[in-house]
A and B are shown apart, each in its own frame.
Chain A
Amino acid sequence: MANKKMTIIASKGSLDMAYPPLILATTAAAMDMDVTIFFTFYGLEMIKRGNADKLKVSPLGNPAMPMPVPIPTLVAALPGMETVATMMMKSMFKKHGVATIGQLLELAKEAGVKLIACQMTMDVMGYKQSDIIDGVEFGGAATWMDIAAESQVNLFI
């Protein structure tokens, strides 16, 4: 029986939003599915060389983010708040035995997850192919569509 297939479009580059595509991709691969992640726009930040574990999360514009004390929006806009929020989230993840983005990315590659970087957004943002980690292919919408048309699960994150 042919394996089921899944594609994910990873379009976000904040620390919190980098998790869902990588968690789902590694899990699906562990469940014998053929998985493709298409990195576009800010999702490219995950696969920029040396950048996976440098992603940040901002409390600004995110009223749902749990904070030890309520933070007024204007305070959340102050310099350094992003660093504080990022450190807080990373320590929460560590405490709960959650893998880092870099570890999940490695696990995904190890499990044979196909990684495709969107060439158009790379051009727009001025990224060279050499700026991207090894093992990534480059393509556009048609590349994704061809795989998506044969997949049972297609997600945009």
Chain B
Amino acid sequence: MSADIKFDQMLDAKGMSCPLPILKTKKAVEALTKDQVLKVETTDAGSKNDMASWAKRTGNEILKVEEGSGTFTFYIKKTA
């Protein structure tokens, strides 16, 4: 499934706790150009909701979220 989504940059935020995954994601997305995609991996169980709120607030788009064995993978398109 994940092979469907192409990404331009990858961010490993595994093992980090709130608010670091969000702060790192913000920085990584800022470094992209519009319409590029960032893949982020986290292990923070709160990050699923946090990432959705962050994307909503900043106007970026989460294309897909994958969950598996304690890891969350987000594909975020820079739309803002």
Interface residue tally on A, bucketed by range: 10 to 19
Is B54 within 8 A of A31, CB to CB? yes
Interface residue tally on B, bucketed by range: 10 to 19
User: Which parts of A1-60 form the interface with B (CB within 8 Å)?
Assistant: 23, 26-27, 30-32
Interface flag for B32 (CB, 8 Å): no
Q: Can you sample 29 A-B contacts with CB below 8 Å? A: A23-B18, A23-B19, A26-B19, A26-B23, A27-B18, A27-B19, A27-B22, A27-B23, A30-B19, A30-B22, A30-B23, A30-B25, A30-B26, A30-B54, A31-B22, A31-B53, A31-B54, A31-B57, A31-B58, A32-B57, A32-B58, A97-B15, A97-B16, A97-B17, A97-B20, A98-B17, A98-B18, A99-B19, A111-B23
Residues in chain B within 8 A of chain A (CB atoms): 15-20, 22-23, 25-26, 44, 53-54, 57-58
